[in-house]
Amino acid sequence: MKALHWLDENAEKVLLVLLSSVMVIVIFVQVFMRYVMQNSLSWSEELARYCFIWAVYIGISYGVKKQRHIKVDVLLLLFKDKGKIVFNIISNLLFLAFAIFVVIYGYRISEQLLAFGQKSPANQIPMGLVYLAAPFGMALTSIRIIQNLIAQCKALMGKGSFDPKTEFEKLKEE
């Protein structure tokens, strides 16, 4: 239970810090090797790029957890709290639909590409693993959206609390 709670809090964060650190270190070493050591690396750029792709899709999930995705929510300002929650639920359901689509079809193409066996040029990483980033990240995202949806439905029924404020209103309070 405790482990689950820790994962809920930190899963994306740990992965993001790990992937970002690899990206920074690897590219910095690349510059250092080429400029100072006069010896260019062939594997660094590719490795950093694949870490980047994975970081983006895990970051999308983190963005849902932190409710930080860029959206146009001026229309929401017209509604009272309950209306806002309903809107939020609709928006979340649409997001969830997209995420599930990517999980299913993104997994399908990763699987096909893995079967064909294409490898990356520099590090010989199976390309299917690179494409797996999207379905993996969107699977995490789906979990986060469902968590939000549960909180929103509870709030709609008057149980528990969910903050339906728009980005704009949140900023105003800071």
- In the region spanning residues 124 to 143, those forming contacts with another protein, defined by CB under 8 A, are 127, 130-131, 133-135
Closest CA to 156 of 164, 146, 144: 164
Instruction: Specify the DSSP element, H or E, that contains 172.
Output: helix 167-173
89 binds another protein (CB under 8 A): no
DSSP 80-117: -HHHHHHHHHHHHHHHHHHHHHHHHHHHHHHHHHHHHT
159 binds another protein (CB under 8 A): no
147 binds another protein (CB under 8 A): no
**Which residue type, as a one-letter code, is found at position 125?**
I
Q: Do 35 and 81 meet the contact criterion of CB atoms below 8 Å apart?
A: no
Output 52 or 159, the one with its CB closest to another protein: 52
155 binds another protein (CB under 8 A): no
Output 36 or 157, the one with its CB closest to another protein: 36
* Binding residue for another protein, selected from 122, 143, 149, 156, defined by CB under 8 A: 122
- What's the closest the beta carbon of residue 147 comes to another protein, in angstroms? 16
80 binds another protein (CB under 8 A): no
**Which residue type, as a one-letter code, is found at position 58?**
I
- What's the closest the beta carbon of residue 139 comes to another protein, in angstroms? 13
Strand partners, 145: none
Q: List the structure tokens of 78.
A: 């017209």
CA distance 159 to 44: 51
Footprint of another protein on residues 15-74 (CB under 8 A)? 16-17, 19-21, 23-24, 27-28, 30-31, 34-35, 38-40, 42, 45-46, 48-49, 52-53, 55-60, 62-63, 66, 68-74
87 binds another protein (CB under 8 A): yes
For residue 119, what is the DSSP state? B
